[in-house]
Amino acid sequence: MQIAQAQSYATLAKAFDALRVHEYDAAVELFRQAAAMEPQRADIRKNLAYTLLKIGENEAARVEFGEAMRIDPGDFHVALEYAFLCFEAKDQPNSRKAEARRIFARIRDTGDAESRKTAAAAFENIDAPLRAGIERWKQALTAAAPTFSAEYELGTLAEQRDERGLAAESYRAAFRLQPQRRYVLLDLARVEKPEAATAALIAASRGGEPRTAELARERLPERYPYVYEFRNALELDPKNSTLHRELAYLLLSMSEKGQASREDAEREFRALVDAAPDDYLAAMQLGLLYVGDKHEDLARPILERVIAHAEPAIANRARAALHEPAVRAKREEPAPSPDIRALADKSYQLGFLKDALRYYLQLHEEHPNDQSIALKLAWTYNMLHDDMSAYHWFAIARQGDDAGIAAQASLAYDNLRPSLERVRTTVWAYPLYSSRWSDLFGYGQVKAEVRIGKLPFRPYASVRFVGDARRNTGGVEPQNLSESSFIAAAGVASRQWHGAMGWFEAGSTISYLTGVPSRDLRGGVSFSRNFGKSMAAESGGWFNETTADAVFISRFDNDFINYAQNRTGYTSTIAGFKVQAFWANNVTFDVKRQSWANFFETGPGIRFHPPGAPKALWVQVNPVHGMYLMNEGNPQGPSFNDFRVGVWFAFTH
C-alpha cells in the first residue's frame, strides 16, 4: 500500500506540473495512472475530471465525476458537476436526465447552504418545464383522440421527471398505436419493473427493426427465456408472429420431453396459424398435433390447405398424415428437411449465427445441389466476418439454375472479390476547387497491396500526390497551401473491422517544386460507416455517412492530426442523376494545437452521379462556414466561408 501511495504521489506531482504548463493531454494520462494506483481516492478522479473539461472531453469528465461522487457522496460540488454534465449534453438518454434531476433534489435537501441554493435553482429549471410539458400533453390527450406523438412525448417527459408509472403507461399506449415503431419497447423496458422490462426486451428482440432487436438482445439475460416470459411478451405484442412461432416450437419440444402439455403447443400453433395464415410449416405441425390426438376433423381442413398451397416437401408430409400418396417433386434433389430448415432460418433471423451455420452445413450435406442453402451459407459466413468462406459459397450459389439466387450471389461475389484478391491495386483522385483560397487542389493515390494468407494485415506500396495551383498564400509571410509533393511509401494496413482500419508506412516525400526528398513516417486509424441509402443504393431514402481519420505525420513536427466528417441527408434519383442532398459537419484538430489544424465547419451540400459515368465517380458542391478553435497567433482570423466543388473518382483492379 505504501509503495502504491509513493508511486501515486510522484505521478500526481508530474500531473500538476503538466497542468501548470498547460500540457493537458499529459496531465490526463498521469492522473489516469494515479487513479489506477489508488482507485478509491476521489480527489484524483476530481482533478482528472476537471482536466478533461479543459480539453473539451465532457463525456469522459462526466464518467470521472460520477466515479468521484460514488467514492465520496458528501462532496456536493462534485455531485453538482456530475448532474450538470448528465443534463446538459443534448444527446443524453432520458434516464441520465432523470438521474440529474434526482441528484439535484438530493443536494437541495441535504447539501451545504451554497450547494442547496445551486441545486434548488437547477432542480426548478429542470422540473418546471417537465411539469408544464406533462400537464400540456395530458390536456391534449384528454381533448382529442390519442396520437403516437402525444403519448410518446408524455412518456419521455414523465421518464425524465421520474414518474415511471406514467412513463410506462404512455410508452405502452404509444406502442399500441404504432407497433411498427419497435424502439418504443426499449424505452418501455427502461421504466418498467424487472419482469415487465424483460417482456418488453423479448418482444423487441424478436422481429422488426434489426438494430432495435440487437440492442434488446444485449440487455437480455444470457439464458433462454422461460415460457411465462414469452407469454408476457405476447401480452404486450400480440401480433408478433416471430414470438408466437418461437413459443410454439418451444412448447412442442417441451411436450415431447413431457415438460409441457400437447394442448399448450396446439393452442400456440393455433394462434400462430391464425396470425400468419401463410406459415404452412406451422399449419402442418398443428395438423400433425391434431392427428396425434385423434382429432382428424380438426386436422383435415388444415392439412388440405397445406397440400394445396405449401411447397412439395411440406405438402407431402401433410399427405402422409392423411394417408395419401406422396407427389414427386419436379426436381430430383429432395427438399431439405423442413424442421432443420425452419431451425436454420429461425436462428439466422434471430441473429444466432453460429447455430444457423451449423444447421445450414447439415442441410448442405444432405442436399448438396440446393442453391438456396449455398446462398444462406454465404450470407451467414459474411455476417460472421469470415469473408473467405462467404466468397467460396457465393461462388457456388452463383452457378445454379435459379436466376434470382444466381443474381444475388453474383452481386455479393463481385463486391467481395477485390478484398480477397492476392494483389489488389486501387487508384483514386480528388481534384477540388476552393473559393476561399481561389485555388485548385489535387489529391490522389495509387496503391498496390498484397494479401498473405489469413494474416490480419496487408503490406503495400503506394505513391500519393498532394498539390495545388497557387503554391502559397502570397503576402509578406506566405504560407504553403499544400504539401506540393509526391509521397512514395511502403507500409502495412490492417483489415477492416466494423469500419475501422489501422495503417503505418515509411517513405519519402519529394517536392515537385524543389526536387528535394525528405523522410516521411505516417500512420494512424481510419474509420468510415454509412447508414441508410448510399450513392450505390438502388432506391432513395435517408442516409448518414461518417468518416474519421487520426493520422501521425513525422514531417509536421511529429504531429497527430484528427479529421472527422459527418453528412446527413437524403438520396434520390432526378432525371437519371443519382443525387444526395445533405448537411455536413466537419472538425479537424491536432495534438500540437496549431491554429491552422484546429477548426470546425458546417454547411449544406449536394453530391451527384451523372448518368452513364463510372459507378465510383461523383461531383460534390459544398458551401461551408468555418470557425477556428485556436486563435492565438492565427493570421487567418476567427472564422471563414468557403465554396468548394470537387470530383471524386476511384477504381480497384
Other residues' Cβ atoms within 10 Å of the Cβ of residue 423: 11
The DSSP symbol for 178 reads -
Alpha-carbon distance of 33 to 152, in angstroms, equals 44
Summarize pLDDT for 126-165 with one digit per residue, the tens.
888 888 999 999 998 999 899 998 999 999 899 888 888 9
Per the rule left: phi > 0, alpha: psi between -120 and 50, beta: everything else, 352 is: beta
Helix, strand and coil percent figures for the chain, each rounded to 5: 50, 25, 25
Among 53-62, 342-351, 468-477, 561-570, the range of highest mean pLDDT: 561-570
For residue 178, count CB atoms less than 10 angstroms from its CB and return exposed for 0-12, middle for 13-18, buried for 19 or more: middle
Rounded to an integer, the average pLDDT of 595-619 is: 88
Q: Reply yes or no on whether the pLDDT at 624 is more than 60.
A: yes
Residue 468 is placed in which grid cell? 495545388
pLDDT band at 488 (very low <50, low <70, confident <90, very high): very high
Helix (H, G, I), strand (E, B) or coil at 507: strand
Residues, the chain: 653
HEC states along 433-483? Answer: EECCCCEEEEEEEEEEEECCCCCCEEEEEEEEEEEECCCECCCCCCCECCC
Query: Comparing C-alpha atoms, which of 375, 382, 363 is closest to residue 405?
Result: 375
Higher pLDDT residue, 226 or 455? 226
Q: Go through the domains of the chain in sequence order and give each one's CATH number.
A: 353-359+366-419 (no CATH), 423-652 (2.40.128)
Helix (H, G, I), strand (E, B) or coil at 36: helix
Alpha-carbon distance of 47 to 53, in angstroms, equals 10
Q: How far is CA 349 from CA 52, 240, 271, 345, 479, in A?
A: 43, 14, 21, 6, 57
Query: Comparing C-alpha atoms, which of 240, 248, 281 is closest to residue 266?
Result: 248
Residue 256 is placed in which grid cell? 415431447
Percentage of the chain exceeding pLDDT 90: 28
Q: What is the mean pLDDT of the chain?
A: 84
pLDDT band at 590 (very low <50, low <70, confident <90, very high): very high
Higher pLDDT residue, 241 or 621? 621
Alpha-carbon distance of 139 to 148, in angstroms, equals 15
Alpha-carbon distance of 211 to 223, in angstroms, equals 21
Summarize pLDDT for 99-120 with one digit per residue, the tens.
888 888 999 999 888 889 998 9
What pLDDT shows up at residue 330? 52
What pLDDT shows up at residue 90? 57
Summarize pLDDT for 307-328 with one digit per residue, the tens.
888 888 788 888 888 888 777 6
pLDDT band at 254 (very low <50, low <70, confident <90, very high): confident
Higher pLDDT residue, 3 or 508? 508
Q: How far is CA 632 from CA 46, 169, 479, in A?
A: 29, 54, 17
Alpha-carbon distance of 616 to 132, in angstroms, equals 52
What pLDDT shows up at residue 564? 94
Q: Could you please report the per-residue DSSP string of 530-569?
A: EEE--TT-SS-EEEEEEEEEEEEEGGGTSEEEEEEEEEEE
Q: Buried b / exposed e across 541-575, counting CB within 10 Å, b at 16+?
A: eebebbbbbbbbbeebeebbbbbbbbbebebeeee
Alpha-carbon distance of 31 to 64, in angstroms, equals 11
Alpha-carbon distance of 371 to 394, in angstroms, equals 10
Q: Buried b / exposed e across 126-151, counting CB within 10 Å, b at 16+?
A: bbeebeebbeebbeebeeeebeeebb
What pLDDT shows up at residue 384? 78
Q: Reply yes or no on whether the pLDDT at 476 is more than 50.
A: no
Alpha-carbon distance of 50 to 28, in angstroms, equals 10
Helix (H, G, I), strand (E, B) or coil at 425: strand
Query: Which residue type sits at 72?
Result: D
Q: Reply yes or no on whether the pLDDT at 604 is more than 60.
A: yes
- CA 641 distance to own-chain centroid: 32
Query: Comparing C-alpha atoms, which of 166, 82, 162 is closest to residue 126?
Result: 162
Other residues' Cβ atoms within 10 Å of the Cβ of residue 500: 14
Q: Are 83 and 100 in contact (CB under 8 A)?
A: yes
Helix (H, G, I), strand (E, B) or coil at 392: helix
Query: Which residue type sits at 38?
Result: E
pTM of the model: 0.45
Helix (H, G, I), strand (E, B) or coil at 136: helix
Q: Buried b / exposed e across 482-497, counting CB within 10 Å, b at 16+?
A: bbbbbbbbebbbbbee
Alpha-carbon distance of 312 to 332, in angstroms, equals 12
For residue 307, count CB atoms less than 10 angstroms from its CB and return exposed for 0-12, middle for 13-18, buried for 19 or more: buried
Alpha-carbon distance of 301 to 607, in angstroms, equals 58
Rounded to an integer, the average pLDDT of 3-24 is: 83
Alpha-carbon distance of 306 to 565, in angstroms, equals 54
Summarize pLDDT for 552-561 with one digit per residue, the tens.
998 888 899 9
Percentage of the chain exceeding pLDDT 70: 91
Q: Reply yes or no on whether the pLDDT at 473 is more than 80.
A: no
Q: Reply yes or no on whether the pLDDT at 1 is more than 50.
A: no
For cell 492522473, the residue is: 31
What pLDDT shows up at residue 605? 95
Among 110-114, 291-295, 624-628, the range of highest mean pLDDT: 624-628
Rounded to an integer, the average pLDDT of 13-23 is: 89
Q: Could you please report the per-residue DSSP string of 641-653?
A: EEEEEEEEEEEE-
Alpha-carbon distance of 598 to 272, in angstroms, equals 59
Alpha-carbon distance of 289 to 256, in angstroms, equals 11
